[in-house]
């Protein structure tokens, strides 16, 4: 499990950085400046991600889409890591105590990701 | 308006200093952002988002080296994330001045901790209490420096857990990793060896930061335009910082940080007292 957790964390961060950098690069190509300024209106990550996917599918691909996706991937990295741990404790190690503990963490995180 | 040209190098610097000092980027980043005119709540939100990146990045290496104790991390995470939700919620509803003062106080605490840092050698703890044993909180790890495998048993999880709740509140409230607090808890209260303390703390910090970030996202405090260069900068800076760390002498690094922490602490408290 150590290796799996390690790779999830590392790949998540790298992917997110890649997306963000790509988005910024695109802005620079388009406008010659490296400035985007906008706020994400108060919403939770779930709404945020579905909104981004919706925009992408409908062809409204702008640099900020990449940056937003990068941020979403970054936030999901620890989440995926915990989810993987739940599965691992349950299915592989069959350690019910820790399946429970990690499930609690996952539940609290899920709750927080749905806050509005 | 704060521009990328300034945000990126500033973040690299913050990440660099944070990695070198082991204090994390947030401690330097947030005061720096506020001096540039960013509102403190936005600064905190950006910082805690970047903390996910830096901590996950560094944690990934340690986990793969089998130094991190995943069970300790996951058990304690239950408490830190609730703390972070509480802390972030408080910040969202707080007025700026108390945030400045609290931040300054934490900086002062870090300064004092650094000043009085003694050299305690870790010894394997004698007795492990029943609760901690039931939690299976023990392990071993390969210590490269010592060239052997160290076994250890954690203890006093019943104290460590509520203490981590407090650490989580600080992290969520101020947008920092609060790694120093967490390492202290792992080290002094739970008796983990230093390398396990720091690496496990790193793991916990990422998840705690996510909980806090969710609250700030819901409050609409995340500005991706600022966040993007900051995240990139801090990760780059931290990467460089860990490379350089090995080459500097301990004494000069320590004095440098003592000065910086004190200056920032005084500044933040003064601004808070003046009502910014």
Q: What does the block give as tokens for B66?
A: 């089998």
- The 10 Å Cβ neighbour count of residue A11 is 15
- Residue A79 CA from chain centroid, whole number: 8
The rounded distance, in Å, linking the Cα atoms of B124 and B143 is: 14
pLDDT at B216: 92
Minimal CA separation from B4 to chain A, in Å: 6
| Location of structure tokens 């089998």 | B66
Cβ atoms of residues A1 and B70 within 8 Å: yes
Following DSSP, what letter does each residue of B28-48 receive, concatenated? HHHHHHHHTT--HHHHHHHHH
Is residue B118 very low, low, confident or very high in pLDDT (cuts 50, 70, 90)?
low
The rounded distance, in Å, linking the Cα atoms of B103 and B10 is: 19
pLDDT at B80: 93
pLDDT at B222: 87
User: Between A38, A41, A101, which is nearest B78 by CB?
Assistant: A101
For B241-269, how does the pLDDT look when each residue is reduced to its tens digit (9 = 90+)? 877 765 566 677 778 878 888 888 888 88
Q: Do A77 and B206 touch (CB under 8 A)?
A: yes
3-class DSSP state for residue A95?
Answer: coil
pLDDT at B47: 92
Cross-strand pairs, B138: B153
The pLDDT of residue A34 is above 70: no
Q: Which residues contact B147 (CB under 8 A, 6 or more apart)?
A: none
Burial class (CB in 10 A: 0-12, 13-18, 19+), B274: exposed
Is residue B169 very low, low, confident or very high in pLDDT (cuts 50, 70, 90)?
very high
For B73-113, how does the pLDDT look when each residue is reduced to its tens digit (9 = 90+)? 899 999 999 999 999 999 999 888 889 889 888 888 888 87
Rounded percentage of chain A residues whose pLDDT exceeds 70: 91
Q: Domain residues of chain B, as ranges? A: 4-117+126-273
- Interface check for A107 against chain B (CB to CB < 8 A): the answer is no
Is residue B7 very low, low, confident or very high in pLDDT (cuts 50, 70, 90)?
confident
Burial class (CB in 10 A: 0-12, 13-18, 19+), B154: buried
For A67-105, how does the pLDDT look when each residue is reduced to its tens digit (9 = 90+)? 888 898 999 999 999 999 999 889 888 889 999 999 999
Nearest to B266 by CA among B49, B69, B83, B111: B111
Size of interface A-B (CB pairs under 8 A): 173
The rounded distance, in Å, linking the Cα atoms of B139 and A57 is: 48
The pLDDT of residue B237 is above 70: yes
Cross-strand pairs, B139: B152
Q: Do B229 and A105 touch (CB under 8 A)?
A: no
Handedness of CA B235, B238, B242, B247 (dihedral sign): positive
pLDDT at A35: 67
- Interface check for A3 against chain B (CB to CB < 8 A): the answer is yes
Minimal CA separation from A55 to chain B, in Å: 17
**What's phi and psi for B150, nearest 5 deg?**
-100, 130
- Interface check for A16 against chain B (CB to CB < 8 A): the answer is yes
Q: Pick the residue with more confidence: B244 or B201?
A: B201
**Total number of domains constituting chain A:** 1
Mean pLDDT of chain B: 83
| Location of structure tokens 């927080």 | A112
Q: Do B56 and A13 touch (CB under 8 A)?
A: yes
Cα pseudo-dihedral A112, A77, B94, B33, rounded to 10: -170
The pLDDT of residue B70 is above 80: yes
Give the max Cα distance, chain A: 55
| Domain boundaries, position A72 | 2-113
3-class DSSP state for residue B69?
Answer: coil
């Amino acid at each position: 499990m150590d290796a799996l957790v390690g790779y999830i964390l590392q790949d998540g961060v790298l992917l997110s950085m890649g997306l963000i950098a790509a988005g910024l690069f695109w802005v620079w190509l388009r406008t010659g400046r490296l400035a985007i300024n906008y706020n994400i209106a108060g919403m939770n990550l779930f709404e945020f991600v579905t909104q981004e996917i919706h925009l992408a599918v409908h062809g409204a691909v702008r640099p900020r889409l990449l940056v937003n996706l990068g941020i979403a991937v970054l936030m999901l990295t620890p989440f995926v890591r915990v989810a993987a741990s739940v599965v691992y404790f349950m299915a592989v190690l069959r350690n019910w105590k820790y399946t429970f503990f990690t499930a609690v963490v996952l539940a609290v995180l899920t709750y927080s990701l749905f806050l509005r | 308006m704060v521009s990328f040209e300034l945000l990126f190098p500033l973040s690299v610097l913050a990440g660099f200093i944070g990695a070198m000092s082991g204090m994390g980027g947030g401690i330097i980043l947030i005061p720096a952002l506020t001096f540039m005119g960013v509102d403190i709540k936005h600064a905190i939100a950006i910082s805690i988002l970047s903390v996910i990146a830096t901590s996950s990045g560094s944690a990934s290496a340690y986990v793969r080296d089998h130094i991190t104790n995943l069970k300790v991390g996951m058990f304690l995470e239950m408490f830190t994330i609730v703390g972070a939700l509480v802390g972030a919620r408080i910040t969202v509803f707080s007025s700026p001045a108390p945030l400045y003062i609290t931040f300054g106080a934490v900086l002062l605490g870090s300064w004092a901790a650094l000043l009085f840092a003694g050299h305690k050698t870790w010894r394997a703890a004698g007795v492990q209490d029943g609760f901690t044993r039931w939690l299976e909180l023990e392990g071993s790890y390969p210590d490269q420096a010592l060239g052997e495998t160290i076994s250890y048993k954690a203890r006093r999880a019943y104290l460590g857990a509520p203490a981590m709740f407090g650490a989580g509140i600080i992290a969520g409230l101020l947008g920092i990793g609060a790694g120093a607090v967490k390492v202290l808890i792992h080290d002094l209260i739970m008796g983990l060896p230093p390398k396990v303390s720091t690496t496990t703390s790193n793991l916990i910090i990422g998840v705690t930061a996510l909980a806090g970030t969710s609250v700030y996202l819901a409050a609409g405090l995340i500005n991706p335009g600022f966040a993007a260069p900051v995240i990139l900068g801090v990760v780059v800076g931290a990467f460089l910082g860990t490379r350089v760390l090995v080459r500097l002498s301990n004494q000069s690094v320590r004095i440098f940080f003592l000065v910086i922490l004190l200056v920032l602490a005084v500044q933040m408290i003064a601004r808070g007292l003046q009502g910014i």
